[in-house]
């Protein structure tokens, strides 16, 4: 699946309210002072199967994996040894706002 096709599919389902896009905040990397934009893209498991997004491949940025979206799983990931500070901060914000993220189907534009 080509990258532009995936982007078009994401855009379509965001506009239909089936994928939630959330802005969680902005942070600064403590070593480089590089800004980090914290976002969450909430996709229902069934939609991933339909769109065959499981065909995503691993890259230099990491590997593709699926996890349960729960406060307990977020906490487990935050405490993981191989997590970058920006990712931990993003997951902390997702945990803090879990109720909103898990119940809202309205995308943020």
Instruction: Find the domain containing 75 and state its range.
Output: 3-103
The DSSP code for 69 is -
The yes-or-no verdict on residue 108 having pLDDT over 80 is: no
For 70-99, what is each residue's pLDDT tens digit? 999 999 988 887 788 888 888 899 999 999
108 falls within a domain: no
What number of residues does the chain have? 109
Put residue 47 in one of left, alpha, beta given phi > 0 → left and psi -120 to 50 → alpha.
alpha
Residue 109 lies in a domain: no
33-70 pLDDT, tens per residue? 889 888 888 887 778 777 766 666 777 767 766 778 89
Structure-token pair, residue 11: 């855009």
> What's the confidence (pLDDT) of residue 53?
64
15 and 24 Cβ atoms separated by less than 8 Å? no
Q: Is residue 73 part of a domain?
A: yes
Total number of domains constituting the chain: 1
- Residue 82 within a domain: yes
Q: With respect to residue 86, please indicate whether it lies within any of the assigned structural domains.
A: yes
């Amino acid at each position: 699946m080509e990258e532009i096709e995936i982007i078009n599919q994401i855009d379509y389902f965001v506009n239909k309210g089936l994928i939630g896009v959330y802005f969680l905040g902005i942070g600064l990397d403590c070593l480089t002072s590089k800004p980090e934009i914290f976002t969450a893209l909430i996709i229902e498991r069934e939609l991933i199967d339909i769109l065959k997004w499981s065909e995503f491949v691993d890259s230099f940025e990491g590997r593709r994996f699926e996890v349960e979206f729960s406060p307990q799983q977020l906490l487990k990931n935050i405490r993981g040894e191989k997590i970058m500070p920006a990712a931990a901060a993003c997951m902390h914000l997702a945990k803090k706002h879990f109720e909103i993220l898990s119940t809202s189907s309205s995308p943020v534009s």
